[in-house]
């Protein structure tokens, strides 16, 4: 339906120079200002204004554009416009879905727009034509500011008129005309992927460690910088697993399990999540298998079991071990093992599920949350739409009923040898064939399960069916990207990672020992972290990043400042006791006790008014935003005190002493915090605000080094800029 | 032919963005007459999270043993409540038929009998009025029916066709926020996290933690004032940094903090509620009781805050009883006990505050549950279904009666969407919500902006409000 750009620019050849070159003033110096040219695309404008060089894609009319196309050649009646960009560097195969576009109308109202095609401008190979579909709700908006983004780098914002010219938001501060240069820019070669085998930059190393670990430390930044990301990932894939030790299964009745003088400790250590939560934080603070822990915690938020319904910590351990064991393994194995895990069996009711009135709990969440997701997806994770523009369900209630019948016949294994009167939450569930529904079943994509199969055969058929469904790669890849890197990945990013999910020899970074296997999570994680949309010293796209969820907020602070506790005796500095969960509970995240199978926060949460996904914002509320600030104050100025005979045997404090030596010079102090905590992205206003605040403490104050350092750290930790990992 | 195809595609594209269109309408309208509103009203949504089993909340009493009915389907697997345990009520609209409330609902039975509580039967998310035949022919299916996340979403957005981004409470707030002038608190407040219900197009909700004293919930810890003056300097820097902005996510975090700071400054002390009188119920120190208590405190300072309309959201979770529905830890019976006591305590508090006829409390829930149980014995439960019964409480409610249509309790019967007793709603959630919105003061002309499908149903006013 769209004419090819070649047609457009060859047949109407004279128009292009009129459209572009006649508007031109040579302007190579312009791009040094106002962020333009700092790595993002540059949209072309008229010579003397920020109005874009933009053409209706069929009629080649300039703006103002109607939102409903005047051309009968547009089958859906939507207007497409072509804009032109410089500085667009593409990888092989990179196309329209690598770009996002957005227009801001007065209000402000934000319209995310779809980039439909991208091509080199024939005869001007250094320019890129970008075709964007307008939104019918823009109607008669007047002037809007349009920008495009590529791999987390945004363009300048240029003005286009919709409906009529005039009005609209003011130009961005410092915005300047960016006309096409008189000498057409040279063609840009396709980008070669960085192998990340050599040393890395400081800023990108900090960013990388924010994504791959529980938080950068100065020592680890220096080490990984020298080592390179690829070698670090290789090291992490084989690092010893810290995980959780198997615990003794206790009697279900805690009155029976805990008697005598130390009932409080006994209940805490066996009948609550305390031992797992403290272990979680200690592993995060101190253990070397950082990436495995991050991925396992991400998987916990995808294949969720909640300890809320668990009587004992011991009941959760084999589930957590399963996540740790399979974090870099195969997703099919993970699906199989979590399905038969007794904690999952208890949580979602597969244990004791019987062919007579099977419950649909596990069946529904297995499909909706653990594997295929509820809407059919394109390879890049965007929803498929039917002719009416509606999403297409992956399954219906009948499919759920059929899967529910598949998941019948399982029960807890007998108690381990020597343990009587306990439920076996250590070994996988076992089959009771008599309880299994052996009728025929219909799975996804019209796959039939023949009648007469046994419980395990049916289970394997269902898991293969979901694992091999085309949705599963993009669905799981997108969830993992959101957990590790950014809440709003471009479709192209999801597509690249999903391709690796489908085949571990695909992508830019296959391992030499790859086998074309599907579901290789280690390869998926590597592809996520080395992707060009993840990497780089900084990102300018205002949509980029993810809110630090409470556990990451805390772990990043504690690791950055070498958190420690106080042991018995004198001057006995030991590890933190890891009792940080009360802090995250107040921020809305109760570790291993999410409210439901949907996890700690909704994976599709929309940030109000932003037009963006931001799952972690689901638990950022008026209250919890201030609780975070309170934690910043507590750790900067005070500590979590130890109470030797309570649940806080060592407490937790952070060590600001190394920073204090810089505090005579605010520039150095703020710079050090900026580098370690914000990879050099702190805004000038924020630097100045911190500097002014700490200068209130005069050098004549005998404690000025400490007080200044505390103030500076507090102001960084409580800043909105720090809340978002970018 | 081509023209026809275009028209089809065009209308379909519009149909796929119903919510977005309603957002435009909300932004375009602002007809509420702020100057003429001096009274006070509040809507309080109690969300029963997970999907409350309405079939075990409002139970046939006289028809308890009807063939193919309640006892015949639910007794054998062990899900039926024994008839002798039911709390009977006789709604005038029931033509003499008695119904039974769940035995945990002692306080609610008394409120019903005192005409303070109404029951709305078989209500749910609908795109259009439906029959079993229509539904089974594939017509009018809400988006992702029976899925928790989507049905929670649709209950709160009142848009059953797509994943929405704003709630109907939030959109009412958008249209009516002018009535509160420059009040330091937004109209919509949640005590149950960042709820969709209270999220507007332009207006943002306040989200407060229920377990802490109200004046401490929103306090900023600026650290130690040592040396003197350093705290004040940090406070200035904190504000400068917060107003500095960054990317959109940074700005969203900054807005959240800023609103909390403003609200906190407006509530310097923890309000004291009037003492509980003889015969009244005190707030149970549990999940829902604490939230409703916090809401009562906020209502008590309405005059100081200068607010005339407030919309509250709270929730009680744990209703997703696929298995072990009767368990003593967080089973249905226990949750309803908490619900009954918390609602009664809240109602009593509104009496003591003199606003019982100005505060209307109502329930929502993901969906009802399958009439036919899942599992058996101690493990018995129920699965996700659709239409459900709801409760509306307050002196402005035409209480003591049932509204809507109680479904025909027959598996595979005329009200069943399939063959497990998933009742096709005979009343739309939009009608339920619109009735409340009209009482609250939303202009009738603004109904379509908040409830884009309201015109498809017989009436926007179900008559349960005075």
Q: Residue A28: its pLDDT value, please?
A: 35
- CA B313 to centroid of chain Cα atoms: 7
Burial B280-296 (b: 16+ CB within 10 A, else e): ebebbeebbbbbbbbbb
Residues A367 and A449: beta-carbon distance below 8 Å: no
Q: Residue A610: its pLDDT value, please?
A: 87
Nearest to B238 by CA among A682, A692, A719: A719
Q: Residue B2: its pLDDT value, please?
A: 32
Query: Quick check: B223 and A637 CB within 8 A?
Result: yes
Return the residue matching tokens 């010893």: A240
Q: Residue A419: its pLDDT value, please?
A: 84
Residues B367 and B388: beta-carbon distance below 8 Å: yes
Q: Pick the residue of A73, A720, A726 with the most B CBs within 10 A to test the interface with B by mutation.
A: A720
Chain B residues close to A487, C-beta within 8 Å: 249
Q: Chain A: residue nearest B262 by CA? A: A622
Q: Residue B433: its pLDDT value, please?
A: 98
pLDDT, greater one: B246 or A147: A147
Q: Chain B: residue nearest A544 by CA? A: B247
Q: Tens digits of per-residue pLDDT, A27-70? A: 333 333 334 446 899 999 999 999 999 999 988 999 999 988 87
Examine the pLDDT at A233 and tell me if it is beyond 80. yes
Mapped onto helix, strand or coil, the DSSP state of residue B94 is helix
Q: Tens digits of per-residue pLDDT, A515-541? A: 999 999 999 999 999 999 999 999 999
Q: Residue A68: its pLDDT value, please?
A: 87
Residue A603 token pair: 């994976």
Examine the pLDDT at A444 and tell me if it is beyond 80. yes
Mapped onto helix, strand or coil, the DSSP state of residue A652 is strand
Span A161-184, average pLDDT: 93
Q: Residue B211: its pLDDT value, please?
A: 86
Chain B residues close to A75, C-beta within 8 Å: 5-6, 9
Span B303-314, average pLDDT: 96
Examine the pLDDT at B15 and tell me if it is beyond 90. no
Examine the pLDDT at B16 and tell me if it is beyond 70. no
Q: Residue B223: its pLDDT value, please?
A: 96
A359 → closest Cβ in B20, B247, B375:
B375
Q: Pick the residue of B3, B147, B223, B318 with the most A CBs within 10 A to test the interface with A by mutation.
A: B223
Q: Chain B: residue nearest A152 by CA? A: B247
Nearest to A608 by CA among A598, A594, A588, A622: A622
pTM of the predicted protein model:
0.94
Q: Tens digits of per-residue pLDDT, A318-329? A: 999 999 999 999
Residues 165-204 of chain B whose Cβ lies under 8 A from any Cβ of chain A: 165-166, 190, 193-194, 199-202, 204
The single-letter DSSP state of residue A172 is P
Mapped onto helix, strand or coil, the DSSP state of residue A111 is strand
Residue A94 token pair: 């990179």
| Mean pLDDT, chain A, integer | 93
Examine the pLDDT at A344 and tell me if it is beyond 50. yes
With a cut of 0.90, is the ipTM above it?
A: yes
Q: Pick the residue of B5, B237, B243, B418 with the most A CBs within 10 A to test the interface with A by mutation.
A: B237
A686 part of contact set with chain B, CB < 8 Å? yes
What percent of chain B has a predicted confidence (pLDDT) above 70?
A: 92
Span A568-578, average pLDDT: 94
Q: Residue A602: its pLDDT value, please?
A: 95
Examine the pLDDT at B346 and tell me if it is beyond 80. yes
A701 → closest Cβ in B227, B240, B374:
B227
Residues 523-542 of chain A whose Cβ lies under 8 A from any Cβ of chain B: 541-542
Span A11-21, average pLDDT: 40
Query: Quick check: B252 and A626 CB within 8 A?
Result: no
Measured distance between the N- and C-terminal CA atoms of chain B, rounded to whole angstroms: 53
Residues 6 or more apart whose CB falls under 8 angstroms from that of A657 comprise: none
B220-224: Cβ within 8 A, 24+ apart:
B220/A626, B220/A629, B220/A630, B220/B260, B220/B261, B220/B264, B221/A626, B221/A629, B221/A630, B221/A632, B221/A633, B221/A634, B222/A633, B222/A714, B223/A633, B223/A636, B223/A637, B223/A710, B223/A711, B223/A714, B224/A637, B224/A638, B224/A710
Q: Residue A265: its pLDDT value, please?
A: 93
Q: Residue A609: its pLDDT value, please?
A: 85
pLDDT band at residue A20, thresholds of 50, 70 and 90?
A: very low
3-state SS of A209-259 is: HHHHCCCCCHHHHHHHHHHCHHHHHHHHHHCCCCCCCCCCCCCCCHHHHCC
Minimal C-alpha gap between A678 and chain B (Å): 13
Examine the pLDDT at A1 and tell me if it is beyond 80. no
CA pair distance A593, A609, nearest whole angstrom? 30
3-state SS of A333-359 is: HHHHHHHHCHHHHHHCCCCCCCCCCCC
Would you call A697 exposed, middle or buried from its count of C-beta atoms within 10 A (0-12, 13-18, 19+)? buried
B263 part of contact set with chain A, CB < 8 Å? yes
Return the residue matching tokens 């996540």: A323
Q: Residue A144: its pLDDT value, please?
A: 98
The interaxial angle of helices A491-502 and A521-530, nearest 10 deg, is 150
Chain B residues close to A606, C-beta within 8 Å: 165
Residues 6 or more apart whose CB falls under 8 angstroms from that of B83 comprise: B61, B64, B65, B71, B100
Residues A25 and A139: beta-carbon distance below 8 Å: no
Q: Residue A590: its pLDDT value, please?
A: 98
Examine the pLDDT at B399 and tell me if it is beyond 80. yes
Mapped onto helix, strand or coil, the DSSP state of residue A98 is helix
CA pair distance A274, A599, nearest whole angstrom? 19
CA pair distance A584, A214, nearest whole angstrom? 15
Span B53-63, average pLDDT: 98
Q: Residue A38: its pLDDT value, please?
A: 62
What percent of chain A has a predicted confidence (pLDDT) above 70?
A: 94
B234 → closest Cβ in A389, A604, A715:
A715
Q: Residue A266: its pLDDT value, please?
A: 95
Mapped onto helix, strand or coil, the DSSP state of residue B123 is strand
Residue A101 token pair: 């576009």
Examine the pLDDT at B238 and tell me if it is beyond 50. yes
pLDDT, greater one: A422 or B35: A422
B248 → closest Cβ in A364, A543, A546:
A543
Examine the pLDDT at B26 and tell me if it is beyond 80. no
B317 part of contact set with chain A, CB < 8 Å? yes
Among the residue ranges A20-29, B336-345, B371-380, the one predicted with the least confidence is A20-29
Q: Residue B34: its pLDDT value, please?
A: 56
Span B178-202, average pLDDT: 95
What percent of chain A has a predicted confidence (pLDDT) above 90?
A: 86
Q: Residue B409: its pLDDT value, please?
A: 97
Residues 6 or more apart whose CB falls under 8 angstroms from that of B466 comprise: B357, B396, B397, B398, B439
Q: Residue B20: its pLDDT value, please?
A: 61
Query: Quick check: A361 and B322 CB within 8 A?
Result: yes
Q: Tens digits of per-residue pLDDT, A302-315? A: 999 999 989 999 99
Examine the pLDDT at A12 and tell me if it is beyond 70. no
Measured distance between the N- and C-terminal CA atoms of chain A, rounded to whole angstroms: 39
Would you call B211 exposed, middle or buried from its count of C-beta atoms within 10 A (0-12, 13-18, 19+)? middle
Chain A residues close to B188, C-beta within 8 Å: none
A76 → closest Cβ in B13, B199, B384:
B13
Span A379-385, average pLDDT: 97
- Partnered with residue A596 across adjacent β-strands are A599
pLDDT band at residue A24, thresholds of 50, 70 and 90?
A: very low
Residues A43 and A83: beta-carbon distance below 8 Å: yes
Q: Tens digits of per-residue pLDDT, B439-466? A: 999 999 999 999 999 999 999 999 999 9
A360 part of contact set with chain B, CB < 8 Å? yes
Q: Residue B4: its pLDDT value, please?
A: 33
Neighbours of B104 (CB within 10 A): 22
- Partnered with residue B384 across adjacent β-strands are B369
pLDDT band at residue B18, thresholds of 50, 70 and 90?
A: low
Q: Residue A123: its pLDDT value, please?
A: 86
pLDDT, greater one: A182 or A206: A206
């Amino acid at each position: 339906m769209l004419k090819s750009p070649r047609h457009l620019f060859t047949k109407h050849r004279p128009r292009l120079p009129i459209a572009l070159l006649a508007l031109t003033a040579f302007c190579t110096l312009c791009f040094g200002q106002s962020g333009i040219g700092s790595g993002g695309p540059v949209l072309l404008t008229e010579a003397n204004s920020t109005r874009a060089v933009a053409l209706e894609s069929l009629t080649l009319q300039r703006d103002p554009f109607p939102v409903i196309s005047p051309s009968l050649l547009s089958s859906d009646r939507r207007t497409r416009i072509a804009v032109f960009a410089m500085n667009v560097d593409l990888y092989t195969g990179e196309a329209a879905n690598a770009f996002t576009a957005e227009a801001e109308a007065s209000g402000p109202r934000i319209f995310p727009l779809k980039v439909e095609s991208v091509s080199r401008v024939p005869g001007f190979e250094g320019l890129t034509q970008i075709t964007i579909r307008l939104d019918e709700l823009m109607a008669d908006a007047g002037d809007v500011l349009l920008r495009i983004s590529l791999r987390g780098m945004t363009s300048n914002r240029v003005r286009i008129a919709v409906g009529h010219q005039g009005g609209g938001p003011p130009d961005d501060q410092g915005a300047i005309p960016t006309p096409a240069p008189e000498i057409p820019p040279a063609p840009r070669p396709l980008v070669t992927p960085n192998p990340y085998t050599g040393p890395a930059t400081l800023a990108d190393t900090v960013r990388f460690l924010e994504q791959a670990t529980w938080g950068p430390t100065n020592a680890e930044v220096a080490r990984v910088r020298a080592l390179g990301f690829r070698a670090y990932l290789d090291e992490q894939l084989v690092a010893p697993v810290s995980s959780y030790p198997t615990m003794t299964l206790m009697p279900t009745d805690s009155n029976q399990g805990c008697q005598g003088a130390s009932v409080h400790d006994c209940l805490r250590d066996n009948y609550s999540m305390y031992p797992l939560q403290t272990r979680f934080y200690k592993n995060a603070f101190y253990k070397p298998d950082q990436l495995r822990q991050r991925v396992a915690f991400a998987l916990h938020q995808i294949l969720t079991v909640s300890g809320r319904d668990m009587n004992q910590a011991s009941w959760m351990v084999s589930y957590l071990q399963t996540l740790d064991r399979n974090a870099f393994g195969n997703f099919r194995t993970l699906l199989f093992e979590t399905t038969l895990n007794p904690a999952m069996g208890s949580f979602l009711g597969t244990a004791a599920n019987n062919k007579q009135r099977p419950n649909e709990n596990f069946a529904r969440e297995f499909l909706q949350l653990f594997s295929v997701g509820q809407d059919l997806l394109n390879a890049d994770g965007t929803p498929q739409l039917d002719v009416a523009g509606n999403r297409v369900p992956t399954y219906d209630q009948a499919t759920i009923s059929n899967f529910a019948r598949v998941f019948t016949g399982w029960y807890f294994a007998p108690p381990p040898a020597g343990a009587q009167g306990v439920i076996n939450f250590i070994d996988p569930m076992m089959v009771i064939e008599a309880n299994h529904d052996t009728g025929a079943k219909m799975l996804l994509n019209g796959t039939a399960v023949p009648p007469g199969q046994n419980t395990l055969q049916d289970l394997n058929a269902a898991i293969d069916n979901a694992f091999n469904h085309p949705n599963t790669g993009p669905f799981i890849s997108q969830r993992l990207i959101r957990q590790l890197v950014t809440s709003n990945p471009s479709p192209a990013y999801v597509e690249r990672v999903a391709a690796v999910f489908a085949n571990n020899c695909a992508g830019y970074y296959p391992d030499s020992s790859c086998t074309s296997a599907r579901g290789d999570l280690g390869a998926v994680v590597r592809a996520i972290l080395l992707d060009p949309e993840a990497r780089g010293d900084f990102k300018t796209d205002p949509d980029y990043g993810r809110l630090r969820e409470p556990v990451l907020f805390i772990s990043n602070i504690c690791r950055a400042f070498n958190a420690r506790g106080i042991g018995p005796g004198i001057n006995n500095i030991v590890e933190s006791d890891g009792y940080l969960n009360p802090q995250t509970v107040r921020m809305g995240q109760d570790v291993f006790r999410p409210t439901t199978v949907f996890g700690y926060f909704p994976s599709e949460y929309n940030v109000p008014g932003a037009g963006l996904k931001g799952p972690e914002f689901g638990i950022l509320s008026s209250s919890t935003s201030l609780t975070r600030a309170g934690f910043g104050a507590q750790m900067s100025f005070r500590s979590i005190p130890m109470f030797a005979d309570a649940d806080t045997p060592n407490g937790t404090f952070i060590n600001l002493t190394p920073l204090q030596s810089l505090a005579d010079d605010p520039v150095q102090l703020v710079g050090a915090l900026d580098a370690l905590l914000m990879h050099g992205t702190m805004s000038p206003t924020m630097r100045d605000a911190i500097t002014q605040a700490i200068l209130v403490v005069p050098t004549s104050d005998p404690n000025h080094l400490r007080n200044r350092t505390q103030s500076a750290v507090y102001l960084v930790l409580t800043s909105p800029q720090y809340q978002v990992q970018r | 032919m081509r023209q026809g195809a275009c028209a089809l595609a065009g209308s379909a594209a519009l149909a796929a963005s119903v919510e977005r269109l309603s957002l435009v309408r909300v932004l375009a309208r602002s007809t509420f007459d702020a100057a003429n509103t001096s009274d006070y009203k509040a809507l309080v949504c109690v969300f029963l999270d997970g999907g409350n089993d309405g079939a075990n909340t409002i139970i046939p009493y006289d028809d308890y043993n009807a063939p193919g009915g309640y006892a015949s389907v639910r007794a054998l697997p062990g899900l039926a409540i024994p008839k002798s345990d039911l709390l009977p009520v006789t709604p005038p609209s029931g033509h003499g038929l008695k119904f039974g409330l769940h035995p945990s609902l002692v306080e609610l039975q008394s409120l019903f009998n005192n005409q303070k509580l109404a029951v709305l039967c078989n209500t749910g998310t609908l795109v259009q009025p439906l029959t079993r035949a229509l539904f089974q022919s594939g017509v009018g299916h809400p988006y992702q029916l029976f899925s928790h996340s989507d049905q929670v979403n649709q209950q709160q957005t009142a848009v059953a066709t797509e994943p929405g981004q704003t709630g109907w409470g939030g959109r009412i707030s958008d249209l009516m926020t002018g009535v509160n002038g420059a009040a330091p608190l937004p109209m919509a407040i949640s005590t149950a996290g960042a709820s969709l219900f209270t999220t507007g197009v332009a207006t943002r909700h306040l989200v407060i933690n229920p377990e802490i004293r109200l004046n401490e919930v929103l306090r900023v810890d600026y650290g130690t004032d040592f040396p003197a003056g350093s705290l004040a300097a940090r406070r200035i820097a904190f504000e400068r940094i917060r107003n500095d902005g960054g990317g959109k996510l940074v700005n969203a975090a900054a807005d959240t903090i800023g609103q909390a700071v403003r609200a906190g400054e407006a509530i310097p002390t923890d309000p004291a509620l009037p003492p509980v009188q003889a015969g009244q119920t005190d707030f149970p120190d549990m999940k829902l009781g604490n939230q409703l208590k916090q809401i009562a405190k906020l209502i008590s300072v309405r005059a100081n805050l200068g607010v005339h309309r407030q919309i509250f959201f709270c929730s009680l979770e744990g209703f997703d009883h696929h298995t072990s529905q009767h368990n003593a830890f967080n089973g249905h019976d226990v949750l309803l006990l908490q619900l009954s006591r918390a609602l009664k305590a809240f109602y009593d508090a509104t009496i003591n505050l003199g606003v019982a006829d100005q505060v209307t409390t109502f329930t929502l829930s993901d969906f009802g549950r399958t009439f036919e149980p899942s599992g058996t014995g101690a493990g018995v439960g129920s699965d996700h279904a659709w239409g459900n019964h709801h409760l509306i409480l307050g002196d402005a409610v035409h209480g003591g009666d049932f509204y809507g249509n109680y479904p025909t309790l027959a598996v595979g019967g005329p009200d069943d969407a399939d063959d497990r007793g998933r009742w096709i709603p005979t009343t739309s959630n939009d009608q339920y919500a619109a009735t409340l919105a009209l009482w609250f003061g939303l202009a009738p002309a603004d109904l379509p902006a908040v409830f884009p499908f309201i015109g498809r149903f017989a009436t926007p006013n179900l008559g349960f409000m005075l």
